[in-house]
């Protein structure tokens, strides 16, 4: 396999039609943040405009082996055979600059894919005749743009994966079995996948015969919001298991958030204690600046059951008091974040004129999971555009 480094022309001979081609190629490459799609886009861009076929080799990381990830030929019937021929090529031995070699009956131009000083792969272009100088220049140009698109897509995917892992760590690791309780929970993140939302929920065992639930919303998104979310969830669990009542827990959490100083974010929260009793469930809870919790009676009647109190992380001297709510068998308690109540359609919010209560009233007789799904669907149907806010829904139903 003979290799030749081609001479580079002093000036480009490309005309306006080539400039349009490069602009279109740039748009296509910039239009994806999926790293697995970039090699396919590269091949679709250059075949058949610059070459009869294209193959792209990449490595998963700087130290990993180079492997063939995509092959495309203008004659689709020849793709499988071409792939077999190219599998044996040592792409890591390719020069760090465009090189001409011969593979089977093709003249092949190899173009390194390098971005930000790091080699990401190699692009092979094959054609039956020689490569004109202007095509070599174009291939180099596309290689630079493709490598940058590939690097951006990889960085985006790595950040998105890290943030998904962080988001998962802020949600309950498991959900317990609670005697006499049927529950349904839904969490949906909105916005960019590399943003960590501030909504969260929790349901956990606090003692021999009591369980706790929480649903909250930290102001903002990103690492700062995630830090407050993690602080809140771990503080709730720790203090509940040490025997603190729900009002005392919120007082301690309020102080812990204020002690974060400049890193602090205010937090709205509903936190409650669930105790099974013979007639259903006894719930003591506090609503700290959060959308009001609603109770649905078995006969379809809906009422607010929480007293609005101060949100967390703002006032140092606030004192919280718990409301006591009884759920008879078949009653439902609904708590949501403002991604539900403030879902917008034009000038209207979903909860205008008691919109959430009307949705809940339609759920009499449904299981907790069915109620949660009905509320989620109502949020989605309220407006045509995607939601710009995270949402969390917690439904507790006395069996």
Task: Kindly tell me if the per-residue pLDDT of 36 is higher than 90.
Answer: no
Task: Kindly tell me if the per-residue pLDDT of 167 is higher than 60.
Answer: no
Is the peptide bond preceding residue 48 cis, with omega within 30 degrees of 0? yes
Q: Which residue has the tokens 């091949």?
A: 43
Give the pLDDT of residue 65: 81
Identify the bridge partners of residue 272 per DSSP, sorted by sequence position.
Answer: 213, 285
- Average of per-residue pLDDT values in the chain: 86
Identify the bridge partners of residue 233 per DSSP, sorted by sequence position.
Answer: none
Give the pLDDT of residue 11: 39
Give the pLDDT of residue 209: 82
Considering the domain architecture, whether residues 146 and 254 belong to the same structural domain is answered as no
Give the pLDDT of residue 252: 94
Mean of pLDDT values over 116-127:
90
Sign of CA dihedral 290, 233, 199, 174: negative
Residue 13 — very low, low, confident or very high, per pLDDT cuts 50/70/90? Answer: very low
- Domain stop point among 165, 192, 209: 165
Give the pLDDT of residue 164: 63
- Domain stop point among 165, 188, 223: 165
Give the pLDDT of residue 394: 96
Task: Kindly tell me if the per-residue pLDDT of 386 is higher than 90.
Answer: no
Considering the domain architecture, whether residues 152 and 194 belong to the same structural domain is answered as no
Residue 117, phi-psi category: left (phi > 0), alpha (psi -120 to 50), beta (remainder): left
Considering the domain architecture, whether residues 11 and 86 belong to the same structural domain is answered as yes
Considering the domain architecture, whether residues 123 and 198 belong to the same structural domain is answered as no
Considering the domain architecture, whether residues 25 and 83 belong to the same structural domain is answered as yes
Considering the domain architecture, whether residues 108 and 203 belong to the same structural domain is answered as no
Considering the domain architecture, whether residues 354 and 234 belong to the same structural domain is answered as yes
Residue 19 — very low, low, confident or very high, per pLDDT cuts 50/70/90? Answer: low
For the question of whether the overall pTM of this predicted structure is more than 0.85, the answer is no
Among 132, 143, 127, 147, CA closest to 14: 132
CATH code at 350?
3.60.40.10
Query: Alpha-carbon distance 108 to 95, whole Å?
Result: 13
Considering the domain architecture, whether residues 29 and 135 belong to the same structural domain is answered as yes
Considering the domain architecture, whether residues 281 and 376 belong to the same structural domain is answered as yes
Structure-model confidence comparison of residues 22 and 228, the more confident one: 228
Give the pLDDT of residue 198: 76
CATH code at 46?
3.30.450.40
Structure-model confidence comparison of residues 76 and 30, the more confident one: 76
Provide the domain count of the chain.
Answer: 2
Task: Kindly tell me if the per-residue pLDDT of 120 is higher than 80.
Answer: yes
Task: Kindly tell me if the per-residue pLDDT of 244 is higher than 90.
Answer: yes
Considering the domain architecture, whether residues 139 and 251 belong to the same structural domain is answered as no
Considering the domain architecture, whether residues 231 and 247 belong to the same structural domain is answered as yes
Task: Kindly tell me if the per-residue pLDDT of 297 is higher than 80.
Answer: yes
Residue 332 — very low, low, confident or very high, per pLDDT cuts 50/70/90? Answer: very high
Residue 257 CB contacts under 8 Å (≥ 6 apart), including other chains: 228, 231, 232, 264, 265, 266, 267, 312, 313
- Domain stop point among 165, 184, 214: 165
Considering the domain architecture, whether residues 227 and 111 belong to the same structural domain is answered as no
Query: Alpha-carbon distance 52 to 201, whole Å?
Result: 55
Give the pLDDT of residue 116: 87
Question: Model confidence over 144-161: pLDDT tens digits?
Answer: 988 998 888 888 777 666
Domain that holds residue 178: 170-398
Structure-model confidence comparison of residues 9 and 306, the more confident one: 306
Identify the bridge partners of residue 335 per DSSP, sorted by sequence position.
Answer: 394
Question: Model confidence over 196-241: pLDDT tens digits?
Answer: 567 889 999 998 888 999 999 988 766 677 778 888 888 999 999 9
Task: Kindly tell me if the per-residue pLDDT of 376 is higher than 70.
Answer: yes
∠ CA 308-310-315 to the nearest 5 degrees? 170
Question: Model confidence over 274-292: pLDDT tens digits?
Answer: 999 999 999 999 999 999 9
The DSSP letter of residue 331 is: -
């Amino acid at each position: 396999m003979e290799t030749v480094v081609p001479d580079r022309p002093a000036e480009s001979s490309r005309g306006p039609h080539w400039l349009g081609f490069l602009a279109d190629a740039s748009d296509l490459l910039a239009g994806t943040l999926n790293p697995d799609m970039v090699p396919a886009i590269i091949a679709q861009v250059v075949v058949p405009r610059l070459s009869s076929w294209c193959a792209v080799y990449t490595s998963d990381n700087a130290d990993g082996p180079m492997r063939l990830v995509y092959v495309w030929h203008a004659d689709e019937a020849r793709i499988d055979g071409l792939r077999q021929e190219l599998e044996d090529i040592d792409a890591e031995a390719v020069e760090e600059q465009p090189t001409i070699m011969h593979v089977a009956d093709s003249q092949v131009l190899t173009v390194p894919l390098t971005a930000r000083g790091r080699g990401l792969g190699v692009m092979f272009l094959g054609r039956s005749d020689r490569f004109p100088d202007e095509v070599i220049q174009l291939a180099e140009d596309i290689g630079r743009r493709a490598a940058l698109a590939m690097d951006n897509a990889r960085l985006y995917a790595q950040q998105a994966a890290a943030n998904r892992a962080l988001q998962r760590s802020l949600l309950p690791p498991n959900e317990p079995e609670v005697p006499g309780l049927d529950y349904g929970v839904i969490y949906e993140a909105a916005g960019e996948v590399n943003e960590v939302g501030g909504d969260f929920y929790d349901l956990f065992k606090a003692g021999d015969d009591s369980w706790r639930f929480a649903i909250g919303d930290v102001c903002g998104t990103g690492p700062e919001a995630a830090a407050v979310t993690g602080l809140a969830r771990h503080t709730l669990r720790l203090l509940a298991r040490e025997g603190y009542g729900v009002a005392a827990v919120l007082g301690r959490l309020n102080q812990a958030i204020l002690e974060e100083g400049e890193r602090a974010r205010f937090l709205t929260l509903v936190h409650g204690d669930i105790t099974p009793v013979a007639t259903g469930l006894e719930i003591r809870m506090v609503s700290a600046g959060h959308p009001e919790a609603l109770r649905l009676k078995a006969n379809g009647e809906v009422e607010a059951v929480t007293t609005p109190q101060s949100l967390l992380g703002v006032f140092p001297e606030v004192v919280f008091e718990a409301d006591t709510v009884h759920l008879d068998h078949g009653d439902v308690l609904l708590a949501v974040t403002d991604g539900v109540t403030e879902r917008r359609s034009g000038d209207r919010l979903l909860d205008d004129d008691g919109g959430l209560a009307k949705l809940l009233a339609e759920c009499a007789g449904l299981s907790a999971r069915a109620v949660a799904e009905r509320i989620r669907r109502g949020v989605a149907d309220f407006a045509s555009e995607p939601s710009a806010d995270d949402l969390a829904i917690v439904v507790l139903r006395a069996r």
